[in-house]
Amino acid sequence: MSANAASRLLQHYVDNFRRLPWRSPPGSPPPEPYRVWLSEVMLQQTTVAAVTPRFERFLERWPTIEALAAAPEADVMQEWAGLGYYARARNLIACARAVAAMGGFPASEAELRKLPGIGAYTSAAVAAIAFGEAEVPVDTNVERVVARLHALTDKSAVPAFAKAMMPEGRPGDFAQAMMDLGASICRPRAPLCTQCPLAADCRAFALGTPEAFPTPKPKTIRPQRYGIAWWIERDGLVWLVRRPAKGMLGGMAALPGPDWQDEPVTANAIAWVTHVFTHFALDLTIVPVAEPCGEGWWQPIDRLSEAGLPTLYRRAAEAALAGMTALAA
């Protein structure tokens, strides 16, 4: 990227940057590493709109990395409920404890990458935004901008091109300018090319086919799985358990039930829900059962929102309550 193009991009960012609670305004001192790291973990495969209120609530409860490191794991998992991809929460706890033991975040991308749950993107984001290291975090937005700018069909070439585009100084502003450009203008579909500060330098725009870059992934068919959730209700209480630490929804509160399987299940159900995970879809059948099973606890039904149920089991509980009401009518 020419110095002129980089200057246009940074000026566009100054004029149009997204005001987010984990950011500092352009040209200001960088935000705390804790805020950058926490936001980047939360934003993995989750939208800015969904993350913003949850980020602020997290900070109110655990305002420092030391406070988060000292928190009981069950409390963090409960607070994470509804954000999905629960391995992120387990890695969040492990990383917080490692950083607290070190006395703070390391300042380099190489050292950051050694921490639990931190990969190439997150380490580059924290290094660039919080510590001013000359790194370019490449998320899907940045990947799309770079691929279109250079008409790249090979995604593996993007990181090198992105690094070559970075001007000297202001690596945090440059990284966030690229992220914002991809999110707001260089969109996957119907990009707003006429509003883009880099349009004059963009090969995909010149070709008239910006949406052809980067090459779309071939669509995959999600396998279908099946499960049973037991609804065990007594005196205004419902029996909940905690899922095993490893595996899908690990460590989260849940309705009890057997392992999910590949074949359809038959049972005297009161309700059904379907939930789509990243790699498969699940049909969950809710079945009333009389006695509690497994290690768990009685949760007041009128306080189910406090149990930290992930979306699948929150929807299952809502469906079960509606089904029980219909049966009693």
Q: What was the pLDDT predicted at 328? A: 76
Mean pLDDT of 56-80: 95
The answer to whether residues 155 and 232 belong to one domain is: no
User: Is the model more confident about 1 or about 250?
Assistant: 250
Question: Does residue 156 have a pLDDT over 80?
Answer: yes
Could you tell me if residue 217 is inside a domain? no
Q: What was the pLDDT predicted at 1? A: 67
Catalytic residues: 40
Tokens of 291: 């006695």
Domain count, the chain: 2
- Within the chain, residue ranges assigned H as helices are 3-16, 33-43, 48-61, 65-70, 73-80, 87-102, 109-112, 120-131, 140-150, 158-165, 171-184, 203-207, 311-328
Question: Where does a domain end: 212, 232, 250?
Answer: 212
The answer to whether residues 196 and 50 belong to one domain is: yes
Each residue of 89-101: pLDDT tens digit? 999 999 999 999 9
Tell how strand 224-231 and strand 281-288 pair up: parallel
> What is the extent of the structural domain holding 296?
224-328
Q: What was the pLDDT predicted at 215? A: 86
The answer to whether residues 151 and 14 belong to one domain is: yes
Q: What percent of the chain has pLDDT over 90?
A: 82
* CATH, residue 322: 3.90.79.10
The answer to whether residues 139 and 66 belong to one domain is: yes
Could you tell me if residue 219 is inside a domain? no
User: Per the confidence metrics, is the pTM higher than 0.85?
Assistant: no
CB neighbours of residue 74 within 10 Å = 13
Each residue of 24-37: pLDDT tens digit? 999 899 999 999 99
Mean pLDDT of 148-159: 92
The answer to whether residues 199 and 232 belong to one domain is: no
Phi/psi at 18 (5° precision):
-80, 130
Could you tell me if residue 159 is inside a domain? yes
